[in-house]
Every structure is written in C-alpha cells, then in structure tokens.
Amino acid sequence: MTTLFAKKAYRVVKNIPKGKVSTYQAVARAIHKPRASRAVGHALKCNPYAPQVPCHRVIRSDGTVGGYARGAKKKIEFLKQEGIIVIGKKIDLHVFGWRV
C-alpha cells in the first residue's frame, strides 16, 4: 500500500526531467514537509512505479549520489546514461540540479 505522503513525493519526482537531479530535501519542501527528507528517501526506496517515477534522479543535498534500491553503482549508471557527470559519486548541483 502506498501512503499519501509517498504519492505526493512520487508526483514531484515524476517531473524531474531527464539529465537533471533534485535532492531529497527539495522534494520534501515541495510537498510542504521540509523536515521529511529521510522519509522521502524511504518512500523512494519503496517506489513501485519505477521507471515512470525516476527515483534515481534524487540525490543528497551535498551532491553525493546517496542510496538506491538497486545499489549506488546502478544509480550512477542510470544517471550517466542520461548525460549527468558523476565524479567520485558526486554530482555538481549547479550544473545538473533542477528546482522543484
């Protein structure tokens, strides 16, 4: 069962365009739960709608890749396929960041 909170997070994440990333914190703010970035991460870990909800496009606020249900290596692979440059598990948010 998908919670209302998770559904709201999925709606935001679904709008992140290919070749861009957002952060768990930005998604939490977009659904009016600014202190719920860890809950966003948990919701995305349980995402039953991949790839329509591209949870691999959500990263940590410091630019590091963060977790992924299929492993960080797979997350980096998907991001690189979309043209995102990942250097040492880190992404430049000034270049690839997307405002929710």
Catalytic residues: 55
DSSP string, 26-50: HHHHHTT-TT-HHHHHHHHHT-TTT
Q: How many Cβ atoms sit within 10 Å of the Cβ of residue 3?
A: 11
